[in-house]
Structure 1
Amino acid sequence: MDMKLEVVVIPVSDVDQAKNFYESLGWRLDADFAVSDDFRVVQLTPPGSEASIIFGTGLTTAAPGFVQGLQLTVYDIEEARQELLDHGADVSEIFHDAGGIFHHAGTEQRLAGPHPERADYGSFASFEDPDGNGWMLQEIKKRAPGR
């Protein structure tokens, strides 16, 4: 049986501010349903993604900014970083992890620049939405078998 991640709920404090932020990054607005003052659902999808994010009013009890480590995979991390910067996102410099396997939480173990051999899965950059929900870019040019 196939199972695909479809939606991730993101806790935000200001629905319109979050909507404007993600739309400014070039994400597609899929839905904006306001059923009442207590229930609103906004769904956006990053370019090229099959999975979307949802935020709104009455969707989660999680605190705004609670979600960390959301990952966007990109073919060219330098180009993706520049595009996000051009759209107004505050994106970190490109880094790689000292351990070489995956990024650590926070900024510890970050070494400046892309992975020295530009190894797939090895180069990262990060940014946050207005509430502090954390995103990672990860460069992948050739996927590992089975992915």
Structure 2
Amino acid sequence: MSSVDASSDSATPSPPVQPGELRLEVVVLPVSDVDRARDFYVSLGWRLDADFPVEDGYRVVQLTPPGSGCSIIFGDGVSAAEPGSTQGLQLSVYDIEEARADLIAAGVEVSEPFHDRTGIFRHAGTEARVTGTAPDRADYGSFASFSDPDGNGWVLQEIKQRLPGR
């Protein structure tokens, strides 16, 4: 089952890392069932970059969300963390309602849109959530959340126009 997905051939390569740069490239997720996790993320439309069963007890799967420069990796022997213990992973989206609809169509349970009572970012967990999008749909202010089959937690954040310098 060793493979690299052919769709990665059409991916836009990023420029080489330059001196002094620190790029977040990969986030490791702890999962209990590698095939189930792989199928879940593939069902979301994430690009399967690699699936390497290197040796007995060691398998590495890498997927990349559409448009992202950062990938996730999980597998057998990849993380000692408890499956589902990663929380607060964030995906930036242009339209929170459209992103929610896409996830729901893929069979994912997604929270209703919410914003934080402070209007700054979001609190951990569900504390301080206010139902509905941010007032005037302010960029960086509207969120929705979902989890993978193991309970690793993801948050969508709506951004239509980035702040200067970002």
TM range (shorter): over 0.9
Equivalence for 2:111: 92
Question: Within the alignment, does 1:129 sit opposite 2:158 as a pair?
Answer: no
Residue of structure 2 in register with 1:76 after alignment:
95
Partner in structure 2 of residue 2 of structure 1: 21
Alignment equivalent of 1:39, drawn from 37, 52, 58: 58
Percent identity, aligned pairs only, is 70
TM-score for both structures, normalised by structure 1: 0.98
How much has 1:116 moved relative to structure 2? 1.3
Offset of residue 37 of structure 1: 2.0
Q: Is the 8 A contact 1:93 1:125 kept in 2?
A: yes
* SS of 1:79 mapped into structure 2: helix
Q: Take 1:122 and 1:88, find their aligned partners in 2: how far apart are those partners?
A: 25
TM-score by length of 2: 0.87
The alignment partner of 1:21 has SS state of: helix
Query: Within 2, Cα distance between the matches of 1:37 and 1:132?
Result: 26
**Other-structure match for 2:7:** none
Runs of 4+ in 1 over 6 A off after TM superposition: none
Gaps of 5+ in 2: 1-19
CA RMSD of aligned residues (A): 0.7
Q: Aligned AA for 1:25?
A: L
Matched positions, count: 147
TM-superposition CA deviations, 1:66-123 (whole Å, max 9, x none): 1000000001111011001111111100000001011111111001110011111000
Q: Separation in 2 of the partners of 1:16 and 1:44?
A: 13
Counterparts of 1:86 and 1:136, CA distance in 2:
17
- CA shift, 1:145, in A, is 1.6
Query: Take 2:79 and 2:39, find their aligned partners in 1: how far apart are those partners?
Result: 20
Counterpart Cα distance in 2 of 1:127 and 1:61: 23
Q: Which residue of 2 aligns with 1:58?
A: 77
Partner SS state of residue 137, structure 2: coil
Of 125, 128, 135 in structure 2, the residue corresponding to residue 116 of structure 1 is 135
1:22 equivalent in structure 2: 41
Is residue 11 from structure 1 mapped to residue 30 from structure 2 by the alignment? Answer: yes
- In 1, the alpha carbon distance for the partners of 2:121 and 2:31 equals 27
Query: 2-side partners of 1:110 and 1:90: how far apart?
Result: 18
> Is structure 2 residue 160 aligned with structure 1 residue 144?
no
Question: 1:3 deviation in Å?
Answer: 1.8
